[in-house]
Homo-oligomer: A and B are copies of this chain.
Amino acid sequence: MKELYFDDLKAGEKFQSDTFEVPAKEIIEFAEKFDPQKFHLHAKSAERSIFKGLVASGWHTAAITMRLFVKTLNFAEGAIGLGVDELRWPNAVRPGDVLRVETEILDARLCRSRPNMGVIRLRNVTLNQKDEIVQTMSANALVPRRSGSVE
């Protein structure tokens, strides 16, 4: 699989990730560690919550999105997150949902302070098997240039 550097990315480019099915077990495991609220922990008490059933923590959805994104873009030297904005969860993720991520590169510019790096701005939209949006976000990331790249 091709490894990407900053030099390979252009504003307007779009990427489609693989899919990932979210097991109930992983929803509960993540919640026990990081977000121990009843609607993420127990199917029974989740039924009496606003969600009417077990749902994944938004931070779990964000983490799954990162996994799918990282595997799709496959940066040779990694991508270093500078910040995230407009992180929203318009629909909950439920056990058995099959997620995928659509990435659009919004901007790609050279880094002034580090000539061997570029900064990309991107938007990630995470969808389920019914094409419902479960997460949106925009992010800036620092991505290494191909060694020897000269502008």
A residues whose Cβ falls under 8 Å from a Cβ of B? 30, 33-39, 49-50, 57-60, 62-64, 66-67, 70-71, 75, 77-89, 142
Contact = CB atoms under 8 A, between A and B. Distances in A.
Contacts of A64: 34
A37 B78 contact: yes
Contact of A82 (B49, B82, B88): B88
Number of copies: 2
- Secondary structure type dominating chain A contacts: mixed
A32 B82 CA distance: 21
A38 B78 contact: yes
A77 to B, nearest CB: 8
A58 B57 CA distance: 16
Contacts of A62: 59, 62
B85 A86 contact: yes
21 contacts: A30-B63, A33-B63, A33-B67, A34-B66, A35-B70, A36-B71, A37-B75, A37-B78, A37-B79, A38-B78, A39-B78, A50-B142, A58-B81, A59-B62, A62-B62, A82-B89, A83-B87, A83-B89, A84-B84, A84-B87, A85-B86
